[in-house]
Amino acid sequence: MSEPVINTILTGRKLIAFAIVWDVIFTAAVPFMNLGYSVNSANLNYASMGYRAVMYLHGLLVAYVATLALIVCELFTINGRSMQGHARAVIRYSALFGVLLGGIGGIVNFGYINASGIGIINDMPTWIQIASFLALDEMAVALLAFLVTAPKSAGVGYKNAGLPYYLLTLSVASALIGAIMGHLGGWIIAFGNLPAPFSGYASWLGLDTTTFAANLVGSHSHEMAVALMAGIVALTAQRFGYSRLGKKGRSLARLGLAVAITGVILMTGVYVAAGAYNYSIPTLFVSGPNGANGIAFDDLLTGLVGMGALLLAIALIGPWYRKVYGSNPAKAAVLTTWIIAILTVPVLGYWIEMNESFYGAGGSIAGAAGAATDATYMIFHQQLAFFVMPALAAAILAMDYYLKSERKKKILSLAAIGGSWLSFAGGISYVFVSPAGANIFLVLEYAGAAVIALSALVVALYLFGALEDRDALGGQQPPTAT
């Protein structure tokens, strides 16, 4: 069977570069897009961000998701076989049009929610973005079609497909389920009780359609963010050859992957139950006045993905890895994004949840001393841990796969590591020390973000072929596990 034309004209390398550039530009433009919040902590509440901000950020995330899907096409193999043929063509077409449509729609989408809670989204920008979301669905279906059939077609069978395969497959499936819940929630926001079965099902659950839509959208956003991060964990495990580690390192890596797989399965079940069946997610370890303190059950489940990633990172960093492969700055850069995401969400997030009587529980406790910190953290952790760090990890994975110059890979990796830690240090200092207005901590956070953005842009230029990828002294390509 002949290869589709797009697979030779629009290469994965150039499409990944295109998506990275789009992602960087969209992220850099956030402070200038009048999204309804600013560095003033009084406005840093996600619940008040409004439709404009949410849809703009969706435009940003489309490029990130497209980058991941394209990387799976290029990097992920089963018994040495990667995705080929029409499935790859579908993903490339969908990535190109999804990024363009999602981004353009996000820039000009000024829809809003009216007083009755119904969305005024029957305008062209929103329908443009809806088309981009459907393109992402198409990518997910194509990926699942490849992943479900790959072990048998590659001759290894499901038993020997490997834990990264199962984590990646479950992550894609979970993200698609989350996307479907988002579609349903968006439809209800737009059209209310139409068609009638929506209102009938909501009534059967004991809900009005507005609450039903809110449940769906909440589960959608939480599930997709973690599922995509779990996919990066799977790609990293295979890219840096966990299966070739020594006995101790391999056992620890397998434990980490198993924990992450468990987290994806459990959190998917809980979010489907909460979104589609009105399951009330409980709070555990309750304490404080009126039970204000405690960790939400779903946060513990999503934390399993972070715990599994941390165990895998320890395995890849440990002496057993260096003994087999030596040092790899790109691997260190990817693992840095994981560590920062874990520190930002489970560690700091759990701390705030266990001290909500001080931080104000999202504004529900009047006069709480730490309310400004809580409100600022809400935006900080979403932007850094769910948007910037995973997108940077994807860019570094692409760089490690495509670039030949070991020297250039080292420089870009070290820049990404330095920028990440600078942005994290400045951000948490801003959140917990002085969460108001522009100050030195915010400058440090933005300076780190600028280094990250510059690193990603240079990676994209190398992928485009605009910069020369050559080392005078040569270099050895890092290993790729199968």
Q: Read off the pLDDT of residues 112-162 as tens digits, 9 standing for 90 and up.
A: 444 444 444 556 777 888 889 999 999 999 999 989 988 888 788 888 888
CATH of domain 1-161: 1.20.120
CA 214 – CA 205 distance, rounded (Å): 14
Q: What is the pLDDT of residue 41?
A: 36
Q: Which residues contact 227 (CB under 8 A, 6 or more apart)?
A: 171, 172, 174, 175, 178, 264, 268
Q: What is the pLDDT of residue 45?
A: 37
Q: What is the pLDDT of residue 220?
A: 92
User: What ranges in 207-246 are assigned the alpha helix state H?
Assistant: 209-239
Q: What is the pLDDT of residue 21?
A: 92
Q: What is the pLDDT of residue 312?
A: 92
Q: Which residues contact 309 (CB under 8 A, 6 or more apart)?
A: 229, 233, 256, 260, 338, 342
**Ranges of each domain in the chain:** 1-161
Q: Read off the pLDDT of residues 267-315 as tens digits, 9 standing for 90 and up.
A: 999 999 999 888 999 989 998 888 888 999 999 999 999 999 999 988 8
Residue stretches of the chain with pLDDT short of 70:
1-9, 33-51, 109-123, 192-196, 198, 319-327, 362-363, 468-482
Q: What is the pLDDT of residue 428?
A: 93
Q: What is the pLDDT of residue 8?
A: 62
Q: What is the pLDDT of residue 25?
A: 87
Residue 361, phi-psi category: left (phi > 0), alpha (psi -120 to 50), beta (remainder):
left
The tokens of 30 are what?
Answer: 């956030």
The count of other CB atoms within 10 Å of the CB of residue 461 is: 15
The count of other CB atoms within 10 Å of the CB of residue 11 is: 16
CA 360 – CA 374 distance, rounded (Å): 7
Q: What is the pLDDT of residue 394?
A: 92
CA 183 – CA 162 distance, rounded (Å): 32
Q: What is the pTM of this model?
A: 0.86
How far CA 194 is from CA of 51, 182, 189, 203, 478, in Å, comes to 21, 16, 10, 14, 54
CA 417 – CA 112 distance, rounded (Å): 39
